[in-house]
């Protein structure tokens, strides 16, 4: 039976856009929800954001901001947020409706920092970067790769793999719904704002 997969990322401790994305997912009859990391950082409402993820049954992975959060909180590791993050994986590999999916914050196999940046500052696909990542994924045995980190919004076929970045709910004002097994994906706008395809482009030019 076909399934709809809700995708969010880079929510950065800002729950209102997350709640809106979850409402869209409910309205669209989404079957499963995934968050590709960076739950922490920038915003002020981390506990509320985590509560929304838990209530929705969202499966999440670690982003760099969660790793940094846990490093800073080593001496105070009894918080609910620390406990939640400590149980998250760095990546997810699963099969849904016969399609193999891989979810990681920045890039496979488990980088939280080396982001897949395909778009220039105007939101256009950069041919040289697309080629670099096609070569990087040449032996990648998955149908779908879902990433976050770079605050870019794209749905691009790189070799045999459909690569999706649903964007940041906070900064790009976006979420995504992936349909399987047909592998179609739609971007949905949040916060009554037009989707911002690229946010703070220069910040991610030299990711390592």
- Any idea where the domains of the chain sit in the sequence? 3-204
- CATH topology assigned to domain 3-204: Purple Acid Phosphatase; chain A, domain 2 (3.60.21)
Distance CA 145, CA 158 (A): 10
The whole-number pLDDT of residue 207 equals 46
Distance CA 36, CA 91 (A): 9
Q: Which positions ≥6 away from 196 have C-beta within 8 Å?
A: 153, 167, 171, 172, 173, 174
> CA torsion sign, 178 to 38 to 57 to 29?
negative
Q: Tell me the mean pLDDT per 10 residues along the chain, length 208.
A: 95 98 98 98 96 98 97 83 96 98 98 96 95 97 97 97 98 98 97 88 54
Distance CA 62, CA 112 (A): 8
The whole-number pLDDT of residue 206 equals 45
Beta bridge partners, 157, equal: 162
The whole-number pLDDT of residue 16 equals 97
């Amino acid at each position: 039976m076909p399934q709809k997969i809700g995708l969010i990322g880079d929510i950065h401790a800002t729950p209102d856009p997350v709640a809106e994305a979850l409402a869209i997912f409910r309205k669209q009859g989404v079957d499963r929800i995934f968050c590709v990391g960076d739950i922490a950082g920038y915003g002020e409402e981390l506990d509320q954001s985590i509560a929304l993820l838990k209530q929705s049954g969202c499966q999440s992975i670690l982003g760099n901001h969660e790793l940094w959060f846990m490093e800073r909180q080593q001496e105070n590791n009894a918080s609910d947020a620390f406990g939640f993050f400590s149980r998250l994986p760095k990546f997810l590999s699963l099969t849904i409706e016969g399609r193999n999916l891989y979810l990681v914050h920045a890039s496979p196999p488990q980088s939280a920092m080396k982001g897949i940046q395909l778009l220039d500052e105007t939101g256009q696909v950069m041919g040289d970067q697309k080629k670099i990542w096609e070569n990087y994924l040449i032996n990648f045995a998955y149908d779908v790769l879902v990433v976050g980190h770079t605050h870019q919004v794209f749905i691009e076929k790189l070799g045999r793999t459909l690569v999706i970045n649903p964007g940041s709910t906070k900064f790009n004002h976006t979420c995504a719904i992936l349909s399987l097994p047909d592998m179609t994906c739609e971007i949905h706008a949040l916060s009554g704002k037009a989707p911002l395809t690229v946010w703070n482009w220069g910040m991610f030019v030299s990711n390592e």
